[in-house]
Structure 1
Amino acid sequence: MTGFPGRRPIYGDAVHITVGADLLVFAGKIMTRGTLSDGRGFAELVLPDADAQQRRDLERAGHYQYEIYLEGRLLYSSPELTLRDTRRDDAGALVVTGSP
């Protein structure tokens, strides 16, 4: 599945995030969905924040693309996105928001 994620969450167990020439891999409980704010569409990616260096690399990059997997099967591949925000949710997961 490619394009922009719908409002219905897509759950996976791994995500590969391409940042320039680097590949960041996160494993665990992963979720992505499309959100709207002020009439603009955003892709929200929620992932475990196990490696602080990976989080910093993503924040510095500004642009990224990601693929979400479940048991090795590709569920969703994003277009290239511009990083708009990173934050932690109430459970401590990293929430990454981007837009095309």
Structure 2
Amino acid sequence: MSVAVGHVHFRTTPEIKQRIADAAALLGQSVTDFIEAAATERAQQILSQQTLVLTDSERDRFIKAIDTPFEPTPALLKGAERVMRAVREGALDT
């Protein structure tokens, strides 16, 4: 069985390289393993911020909200009217 290997190359200062090497050594890891673990953890943090997890009841409320037409409020109608008037008068481009 073969394993595909991807390569990532980056440049850094000698100081940062040494700091990484020192931290990896303290953990008994190679620099590659240390960087891979740190980058993977940070990537997961960022990606998890982009994922919204709903409970069953939240999901049901969300589905009901998007499936149920709503009546526009007077303020919404007034705002839409102002925008349409501005478009007709050329104050806003569509």
Judging by fraction of residues, say which structure has more helix: 2
* TM-score, length basis structure 2: 0.22
* TM-score, length basis structure 1: 0.21
Judging by fraction of residues, say which structure has more strand: 1
- Name which structure has the greater RCO, CA cutoff 8 Å, separation 6+: 1
Work out which of the two has the higher radius of gyration on C-alpha atoms and give 1 or 2: 2
